[in-house]
Amino acid sequence: MHRDIERLLARIGLTPRGESTALAGGDIAAVCRLDTDQGAVVVKRDAAERLAGEAEGLRVLGEAVTRLVVPEVLARDGEWLVMEALAPRGRAAGDEVALGEGLRELHAVTGGPHGWHRDNACGTTPQPNAPLADGRAFQRERRLLPLARACHERGLLDPRLRARLEALSEGLETWLPDAPASLVHGDLWSGNVLHTDRGPAIIDPAVYRHYPEVDLAMLTLFGTPSEAFFEAYWNGPSPDDWPRREALFQLYPLLNHLLLFGGGYRGAVERTLDRLGRD
């Protein structure tokens, strides 16, 4: 075991027992489960700035929701983060409803401009969060245009597709209403939702304030939430423009995947732009 983590555990009064066990989901950071004299913990090693943003996000989410489980941050120092270990189980009846109600509770936390007081990261991609009063401007200036530029500079986005993204970004005010900024998880793909003995849990956040559909669009992009989830979330019928918002807010994670993993995601970006063009 690394001496730094031994010292960090000792600082919070924990003594390790045995060897650590690597956990799935460690493609970007090293993540392991470790038994201690006071129960199991999860230890994560990553760039210090990314871990600082994650630790803050977990604390913010933990204060904002009562209907979802958020792992407690026990300690952080430099490139190390120690968190409460959750007890996983299979999906249970009622989990989808609980997740929908929990996200509705989270997104009801509104106030302030779109953005966050610090930048964080979505995967390994730096996520600029400098606040803007208008959500359309934030989506354009902090999300779509920076990633379109980065993908183009790496040869992953041809000039025609980049021009389509820029035209969409410049035209957001013609159809997307401005709205109060909700607290969002920020990276809510299905792998960041766990089913535990205490109910559904959310992990690995990249929090900021923006349109709440940011989280819903990520869930539908990489998973298939049930009707029960949406009924619990909307607490009634979905808004008429949900399909268009879904496509819009899927563009950012798709561009991020294009940037991180290469040209296999270019077709998905173009198909999503086609969806927006038809609506």
- HSE-CB of 191 using CA atoms within 13 angstroms: 9
Q: Contact, 250 vs 217, CB < 8 A?
A: yes
The residue from 46, 95, 187, 215 that is catalytic is 187
Task: Please indicate whether residue 187 is annotated as part of the active site.
Answer: yes
Using the Cα atoms of residue 111, residue 113, residue 119 and residue 120 in order, give the sign of their dihedral: positive
Measured CA to CA, the distance from residue 70 to residue 196 in angstroms comes to 11
Q: Contact, 115 vs 209, CB < 8 A?
A: yes
Residue 221 to residues 50, 107, 187, 188, 279: CA-CA distances in angstroms? 24, 19, 11, 10, 18
Measured CA to CA, the distance from residue 261 to residue 97 in angstroms comes to 33
What are the beta bridge partners of residue 122?
A: 125
Instruction: List active site positions.
Output: 187
